[in-house]
Chain A
Amino acid sequence: MSIKIVRGYPEYMREHIEAVEKTRDKRLKETFPLMRLEEREEILKKFHPDYKEEAKRPVKVGPNKGDRMPHEVVDLLESHPLVEPEDIDLSKVDFDIDVLIIGGGGAGMTAALWANYSGIDAENIIIVQKLRLGDSNSIMSQGGIQAADKPNDSPALHYLDVIGGGHFANDRELARRLVLDAPQMIKWHEELGVIYDKETDGTMITIHGGGTCRKRMHSARDYTGLEIVRNLKDEIINKNIQVLEFTSAVDLLTDENKQVAGAVLYNMETQEYYVAKAKSTVLTTGGFGRLHIQGFQTTNHYGATADGIVMAYRAGAKLRDMDAVQYHPTGAAYPEQIVGLLVTEKVRGLGAQPVNKNGEQFVYPREPRDVEASAIIRECYERNNGIETPTGMRGVWLDSPMIEILQGEGTIEKKIPAMLRQYKRFDIDITQDPMLVFPTLHFQNGGIIIKENAETPVKGLFAAGEVTGGTHGKNRLMGNSILDYSVFGRIVGINAAKHANNASIGKLTLDHLTKYEKMLKEAGVETNRKAPILLPEYREEKVLSRALDIF
């Protein structure tokens, strides 16, 4: 069977595109109404993947014993360490430093710079990064960063949006810090040379995101993350901060006073291990998209495998909201080559509406992400109003040509060039035709519990960014993740530096791993699984089933 492709889309989809075109004029004049809070709750319960009880189970060991989390997460928490304590010679310390930062994305780089600004010499800071410096979800973030810095806005309104989007389950102190520090992080970015979209007089061009009551999304085309990350990366290099690329942390180190004291590192290429002793250890390892929870495709980068969660948990850190998984409403559903990749929320911010196969609107375009995603799932599966792709996936249209009509011709090329380019590579012109979308696994809403100063309850251990929980409650809003890693990256850098000035580390141990193994045994967990997994496995079964471990 071969399918005829017309301007990038299978011929049969053209008929549905015509339906979208037919209703466009009418839709330009009307927007589907916002849901009330009760309606939101109802649709979430029925359609959001988080509410599928069979997709979760209680974890049997550790600080969160009894808490229900996705199987994929519990599997990692109920795994053996990658290293046996007796195989690691802790008497030989390879790196003896003040601040060890595990994870070189936005949070890690921001932390390193602020630790350095706070007086820690570059040679006493190490960033461990399992891919290249900057390879992270941070670099992929497209839509923007929120900050309440316009005259008609206020941090209090931003705060309301944050906790409303998070189902009022947020850590209120973290949410307050997030909104109050937002404008100063934008200013810091400006000083670094980050080029935000601005009017000629310097006024920020800001738009709405899902769940915002004011237009406070600052962006840099749809390469916002890229633009910030390449500035941070350049600064890390200019400051001579040590970076160990293609090196993973595989478990934390502790000392006899039960404080975290660095980590066991592993060179991904030579397979050699190193002992890194540190007065402050900072986890900025990001999230868990590559666990493909409930089989979902993901927008996340290759290394998003929840390593930090696993290591912190074994060292005694507590987690929260690990059952709250963010599915971004609009992942690409077609073409096959880019399925699951992000279609930025900025597309809706600029005016594009989600539309079903009959050309009808079925949801307000910018509900909070979990609500918007649930509405798309309902449209595709309960109401059967989705469009099926040649591989059997379903999706709805995101009517991107509306942007050109609403905001003027050329807006797409100017404001969302990454989207234009990505679809053009597969012969689809999104200025003329809509994009087919379906929710995709995007963000870890929960994570390690921290205080407002980015400390975990475990002495010597700090965390910031996606690896932490609380700031966003059960659901993060668009534009608050760059903000999160900026605000708490700065705070963690300052506080890790402060802690390092007063801390002293005793005799290094891996006793917490031995203890954890004992807990697993007592809880009756019998498994061959090992974690952290470091990278996902995408080789085909036919190869894996015949692979020999002989070289």
Chain B
Amino acid sequence: MSEVKQGEKEVRVYIMGREYKVPAGLTIMKAMEYAGYRFVRSCGCRGGFCGACATVYRVKGDYKLKMALACQETVEDGMYISQIPFTPAEKPVYNLEELSPSPNVILEYYPEIAKCVSCNTCTKACPQDLEVMNYVQAALRGDFQEAATLSFDCLTCGLCAIRCPTEIVPYNIALLARRLYGKYVIPKANHVEERIKEIESGKFDEEIQKLMETSVDRIKEIYEKREIEPE
């Protein structure tokens, strides 16, 4: 099944330099498929959530290289398109159980973070429009809350790392910062812990067992009569 409904207008795009005419209004991803490409790499969720389709492009007449997700960006006339199927960036192995939420941890695993020159190139590269440089700086000074909050919508597409002139890997630093923050800084939910204890003590077993043995007709009544928590 084709995902494309042919538009009336066509635009000229250059997929890795090779010219194709495609209907206007398509995303880069669908335009490439229209042209005849079948993805194995560089295509994941197709919905802006996974970062598999990191793409670099330039529009004729402009010297600037731009970054996008192929599934979220509409083609323009004169677009030169190339995808980045894989980022060979550093991802050190660690045991989170043995770490603590201290700035030293970030420096230990990602010492190059100290070389950040605040050029903001990473921020410009981010297809999610995140404040990448600011979260890198927050991680560097040990402000894990800020680092986690600013980096939360990161899809780990890798474009920031590809662009960084000092070889920092912002998205993996953010991952470590978020995990430290989530595990060690945010208070645990007591009510979750308590419910687990109740379940383990068998508190609900009899009630559920009874429901399981109830006939469908009777359980329909119970279901319809259950109280709905108001807004």
Contacts and interface: CB of A to CB of B under 8 A. Distances in A.
Given A149-B191, A155-B199, A202-B187, A337 B153 contact: no
Interface in A189-241: 190-196, 198, 200-204, 208, 213-215, 220-221, 223, 225-227, 230-231, 234-235, 237-238, 240
Contacts of A132: 44, 50, 52
Given A187-B193, A226-B49, A226-B155, A540 B183 contact: no
Contact of A201 (B34, B187, B220): B187
Contacts of B16: none
B123 interface: no
A234 B229 contact: no
Given A135-B44, A140-B45, A160 B223 contact: yes
Given A155-B208, A202-B186, A543 B35 contact: yes
Contacts of B175: 230, 234
A154 B204 contact: yes
A422 interface: yes
B89 interface: no
Interface string A280-301: 0000000000001001010101
Nearest to B212: A172
B212 to A, nearest CB: 5
Interface in B80-99: 91, 93-96
B72 interface: yes
A541 B128 CA distance: 33
Interface string A320-360: 00000000000000001110011000000001000000000
A176 B208 contact: yes
Contacts of B3: 297, 538
Interface in A136-172: 137, 139-140, 142, 147-152, 154-157, 159-160, 163-164, 168, 172
Interface stretch (A8-16, A178-186, A449-457, A476-484): A178-186
Contacts of B193: 187
A386 B181 CA distance: 46
A223 B48 contact: no
A439 B199 CA distance: 37
Interface stretch (B25-33, B57-65, B133-141): B25-33
Interface in A401-426: 417-418, 421-422, 425-426
A151 B192 contact: no
B2 A140 contact: no
B174 to A, nearest CB: 10
B108 interface: no
B114 interface: no
Nearest to A220: B152
A168 B189 contact: no
B183 A191 contact: yes
A301 B229 CA distance: 34
Contact of B40 (A160, A238, A268, A297): A268
Contacts of A172: 212
Given A149-B195, A155-B204, A204 B189 contact: yes
Contact of B46 (A173, A269, A302, A421): A302
B119 interface: no
B189 A190 contact: yes
A341 B47 contact: yes
Interface in B1-48: 1-5, 8, 25-27, 30, 33-41, 43-48
Contact of B199 (A139, A180, A231): A180
A240 to B, nearest CB: 7
B187 A237 contact: no
A86 interface: no
B117 interface: no
A448 B46 CA distance: 26
B5 A391 contact: yes
B189 to A, nearest CB: 5
A183 B196 contact: yes
Given A302-B44, A342-B47, A418-B48, A536 B5 contact: no
A364 B223 CA distance: 17
A535 B37 CA distance: 13
A50 B66 CA distance: 44
Given A134-B50, A148-B195, A168-B216, A223 B152 contact: yes
Nearest to B228: A213
B182 A238 contact: no
A49 to B, nearest CB: 16
A454 to B, nearest CB: 19
A425 B35 CA distance: 23
A314 to B, nearest CB: 24
A539 B220 CA distance: 48
A213 B228 CA distance: 4
A482 to B, nearest CB: 14
Nearest to B227: A213
A246 interface: yes
B191 A150 contact: yes
Given A195-B148, A202-B186, A223 B33 contact: no
Contact of B152 (A195, A208, A295, A351): A195
A203 to B, nearest CB: 6
A26 interface: no
Contacts of A184: 196, 199
A17 interface: no
A159 B211 contact: yes
Contacts of B191: 149-151, 203-204
Interface in B145-182: 148, 152-153, 155-156, 175, 178-182
Contacts of A221: 152-153
A238 B25 contact: no
Contacts of B35: 543
Given A132-B50, A168-B223, 16 more contacts: A159-B208, A160-B223, A163-B219, A172-B212, A176-B212, A190-B189, A192-B179, A193-B182, A195-B186, A196-B189, A204-B189, A302-B44, A341-B46, A421-B48, A539-B34, A539-B38
Interface of A: 1, 34, 36-37, 131-132, 134-135, 137, 139-140, 142, 147-152, 154-157, 159-160, 163-164, 168, 172-173, 176, 179-180, 183-184, 186-187, 190-196, 198, 200-204, 208, 213-215, 220-221, 223, 225-227, 230-231, 234-235, 237-238, 240, 246, 268-269, 292, 295, 297, 299, 301-302, 336-338, 341-342, 351, 391, 417-418, 421-422, 425-426, 535-541, 543, 547
27 contacts: A139-B45, A140-B47, A142-B49, A149-B191, A151-B191, A160-B223, A160-B226, A164-B220, A183-B195, A186-B192, A187-B188, A190-B189, A190-B192, A193-B96, A195-B148, A196-B189, A203-B191, A220-B152, A231-B179, A237-B93, A336-B5, A341-B47, A417-B153, A418-B48, A418-B49, A538-B3, A540-B34
Interface of B: 1-5, 8, 25-27, 30, 33-41, 43-50, 52, 72-74, 91, 93-96, 128-129, 148, 152-153, 155-156, 175, 178-183, 186-193, 195-196, 199, 204, 207-208, 211-212, 216, 219-220, 222-224, 226-229, 231
* 3 closest Cβ pairs, A-B complex: A202-B187, A193-B179, A193-B182
